[in-house]
Amino acid sequence: MTLADALKGQKVTIVSMELSELSVNRLTALGLTPGVRVRVVDNSLKDASIVECRGARLALGRGLARFVVVK
Amino acid sequence: MKTTLRIALAGNPNCGKSTIFNKLTGAKQTVGNFPGVTVERYEGRTRFEGRDVSVVDLPGVYSLASYSDEERVAAEFLKNETPDVVVDVVDASNLERNLYLTFALKEPGRPLVVALNMVDVARRRGIDVDAAALSKELGVPVVQTVGNRGVGVDEILAEAVRLAEAPSSAFEPSSTPACPSDSAKSCGHCGGECELAQTAADVARYKEIGRVCARCVKTDADVPESGSDKIDAILTHRFLGIPIFLAAMYLVFQLTFALGAYPMNWLETGFGALSAWFDGAMRDGFAKSLIIDAIIGGVGGVLVFLPNILILFLAISILEDSGYMARAALLCDRWMRRVGLHGRSVVPALVGFGCTVPGIMAAKMLGDRKERLATMFVLPLFSCGARFPIYALLIPAFFPLEWRGAILWGIYLIGILLAGVVAKILDVVFKNDEPAPFVIELPSYRRPTLGVVGLRALERGWGYVKKAGTIIFAISVLLWALTTFPTLDAATVAKFDAERARIVKKTDQIRAEAAEAQEIAEDAQLAENAEAVAEELAEVDAAESQAKLERSFAGRIGRGIEPILRPMGFDWKIGTALIGAIAAKEIFVAQLGVVYSVGEADETSAPLAETLRANYTPLVGFCIMLFCLIATPCMATFAAMAQESGSWKWAVAQWSSLTALAWMLTTLVYQIGSLF
């Protein structure tokens, strides 16, 4: 399952990020790393997922969320 | 001991750093740009225990890895300017993520103070951070602060002074394993090995942060969901979000133009009075004309927009500071992305409909340099308020009532579509192989601190005033000279003077005759005579203006460029007016009035509209509007572009490519239109 498929309110753990170095580094600086727990705040927007992670609320474009593998 | 202590303030975006900065330095701050980039550099001074302290507010960053201008600027500043002490402001309610930067900042030999900010907000959310334990874990002093109330600000300074005076003893080597230096990260050329090492290092760093947090942070799990959740459910709603955003922007514009109209009026009245005073106090001549037409008319004409700009920046600062802007960017990203822009580009674009200059200045808030440049580049295509008088003159002059609204709408729409096309082209030119990934932090909603937003608006306004006093002043004088010199020769002036004298004499004669004949003086007839005389005199004045303009450099240039204008259906008269539009778009109307010698003209000028209708086809009218929409961004835009992009080259590139595009499109439209 990817972050884009997660449901609102669901708590998931990031398994891996199948993205370019640039994107991975960006997400890392914002607190998204393999193993971290993420709460899905809203996934109803057409192009973005809103998540909460390490106390910060982040919006990720679909292009990113679709390649963040979670469980 | 150095006399001035230099402190750099670092921290994540939205950690309350600006508020701390303001509390540290008060109003004694200057704003400038970091060299070569559009990142604003705020610097302030204060005194503490008899020492001068200078504080530099670094841009808010998540890391020092040099992926954005902000990160590069912050990393380079720390490396090259080696401040005496670095103060890292961290958001206590979001400690884990904020500590990532803290670890990047922690380097042997760099005195570091951590300001644990917004402890009150954190406590309300059930998060309690043990500052003493954190200090022990990190090996650096930790000060608890509440920025908006100024709590802990003096303690920051005290710690900074202490560290600076005894750096070796105060800075103990960290008890944690050496964390990877961020400078290693920026060597993106060494390929796979580095990348792998980096990912592992990042994971290790977060593991370490997790360990630190486990020891220092107590979280009350039973705290109810934050209010941000409920607000976000509405403001980022998939259907409601966009209408709410549009309404908010509409409100901002209304405020900008409606509220700004009053002070703008006072300024206009003031400049008018100033002109009148010089008019009365000075003898006719070049000096007088220079002061009234060039200096007051040119610089004053730009300064009257200052209230609008202040209000606009205040409103935008409030939206930014409250946390809403990040949501707006999220909502618009979908549409902007299609042309290679960022969601946040939507705000400068909307501002651009009012005036391009503040739009370009609002583009500051875009993080990525390419996107910022692309946004600034296409901004003049969003038809600004100064172009409206041109449409207001030409549309009624050439088109029947039922077509007028549609044509105006069409012009604006053409501008928007072209902006999309040009942005897309730039996207290809910049070779954005991978668009900057869209990920944005949605900060918790909070009440904006008036001190922060007010000061920032004032500083940006002051930058605008400085520009008006320098660049715009110079260009105004230049344009004035172009339309003034060379002057008419003595013989021609004498001819016009003689003409005026003849009219006055004739009138006197008629009056004298009437008095002699002892006719019952009919007031109506006298008044009619007086009116006729005034009209005749005005005609002579207008003819003189036309002769002057034709002889001036501007007139000659107009004739000179006629061959280039021909394919678009323009003649030298339109060309001369277009030269005026280089200074400011609205001058086109006034200049056209001079060319067609109808005296003072504005967009409601019926005689000018009639003259135009008699001389040109509706196709030419449309072509003029099209050309004015796209071509020659005004001089204020040119100056703003040069300043904000950090290079004159960008301003020149924008000016010339938009003008070339305008020429091609207008020629195309005119040539195809002429076939029918």
DSSP letters for B337-354: HTTT--GGGHHHHHHHHH
CATH of the domain at A42: 2.30.30.90
**Residues of A in Cβ contact (< 8 Å) with B203:** 33-35
> Which of A25-29, B12-16, B661-665 is modeled with the greatest confidence?
B661-665
Residue B181 pLDDT class (50, 70, 90 cuts): very low
**B493-526 confidence digits (pLDDT tens):** 888 889 888 888 888 887 777 777 765 556 666 6
Q: Which of B195, B437, B442 sits opposite A63 (nearest CB)?
A: B437
Residue B528 host element (H or E): helix B523-551
With CB atoms and an 8 Å threshold, state whether A60 touches B438: yes
Q: Does residue B28 surpass a pLDDT of 70?
A: no
For chain B, give the longest Cα–Cα distance: 114
Domain span at A49: 3-70
Which of B510, B525, B546 is the last residue before a domain boundary? B546
* B489, two tokens: 């020769």
Domain membership flag for residue B267: no
Output helix, strand, coil percentages for chain B, rounded to the nearest 5.
70, 10, 25
What total of structural domains would you count in chain A? 1
Residues 6 or more apart whose Cβ sits within 8 Å of residue B487: B548, B551
Residue B609 lies in a domain: no
The closest alpha carbon to B577, from B552, B595, B603, belongs to: B595
pLDDT single digits (tens) B230-256 = 888 889 888 898 899 888 877 887 787
pLDDT of res. B178: 41
Q: What mean pLDDT is reported for chain B?
A: 82
Per DSSP, the residues of A12-50 read EEEEEE-S-HHHHHHHHHTT--TT-EEEEEE--SSSEEE
- ipTM surpasses cut 0.90: yes
Per cent of chain B over pLDDT 90 is 24
Average pLDDT over residues B517-542: 73
Write the pLDDT tens digit of every residue in B208-233. Answer: 998 999 899 888 766 666 677 788 88
Whether B253 and B313 have beta carbons less than 8 Å apart is answered as: no
Interface contact flag, A42 B330, Cβ < 8 Å: no
Answer yes or no: do B62 and A30 touch at CB < 8 A.
yes
Which of A23, A24, A42 has the CB atom closest to B236's CB atom? A42
Between residues 323 and 362 of chain B, which touch chain A (CB distance below 8 Å)? Answer: 326, 330, 333-334, 337
Which of B94, B88, B150, B149 lies closest to B125, judged by CA? Answer: B94
DSSP bridge pairs for B115: B89, B143
Instruction: Give the mean pLDDT of B446-456.
Output: 82
pLDDT of residue B222: 62
Nearest residue to B378 (alpha-carbon basis) of B370, B386, B387, B367: B370
B106: nearest Cα among B169, B172, B184, B26: B172
Q: Which of B183-187, B198-202, B585-589: highest mean pLDDT? A: B585-589
Whether residue B515 is contained in a domain is answered as yes
Per-residue pLDDT at B435: 59
Choose one of B192, B219, B246: the last residue of a domain: B219
Domain enclosing residue B520, as ranges: 490-546
CA distances B57 to B17, B25, B74, B462, Å, are 8, 10, 10, 19
The domain spanning residue B41 has which CATH number? 3.40.50.300
Q: Cβ of B161: how many Cβ atoms within 10 Å?
A: 19
Q: Among B41-50, B63-72, B96-105, B598-607, which is the least confidently predicted range? A: B598-607
Contacts of A61 in chain B (CB under 8 A): 333, 337, 437-439
User: For residue B1, what pLDDT is reported?
Assistant: 52
- B381 neighbors B627 (Cβ within 8 angstroms): no
- In one-letter notation, the amino acid at residue B488 is L
- From the list A19, A42, A55, the residue facing B95 with the nearest CB is A55
Return the pLDDT at B364.
74
Q: Do the beta carbons of residue B251 and residue B318 sit within 8 Å?
A: no
| B96: nearest Cα among B223, B224, B226, B214 | B214
In sequence order, the 6+-apart residues with CB closer than 8 A to the CB of A18 are: A67, A68, A69
Q: What is residue B187's predicted lDDT score, i.e. its pLDDT?
A: 39
Residue B35 lies in a domain: yes
List Cα–Cα distances, B603 to B347, B391, B394, B629, in angstroms. 29, 8, 8, 16
- Please confirm whether the linkage preceding B486 is cis (ω < 30° from 0): yes
pLDDT-derived band of residue B135, with 50, 70 and 90 as boundaries? very high
Q: What is the mean pLDDT of residues B110-114?
A: 93
Residues 22-41 of A with CB under 8 A from B: 22-31, 33-36, 41
- The DSSP element (H or E) to which B23 belongs, if any, is helix B17-25
Per the rule left: phi > 0, alpha: psi between -120 and 50, beta: everything else, A50 is beta
CB B48 within 8 A of CB B60: no
Q: What is the pLDDT of residue B389?
A: 80
Handedness of CA B189, B194, B198, B201 (dihedral sign): negative
Q: CB-hemisphere CA count at 13 Å for B410?
A: 10
Q: Flag residues of chain A having pLDDT under 50.
A: none
Residue B214 lies in a domain: yes
Q: How many domains does chain B have?
A: 2
Q: What SS3 class is residue B617?
A: coil
Q: What is the 3-state secondary structure (H, E, C) of B67-96?
A: CCHHHHHHHHHHHHCCCCEEEEEEEHHHHH
Length of chain B, please? 676
Please report whether residue B51 resides in a domain.
Answer: yes
Residue B363 has pLDDT above 60, yes or no: yes
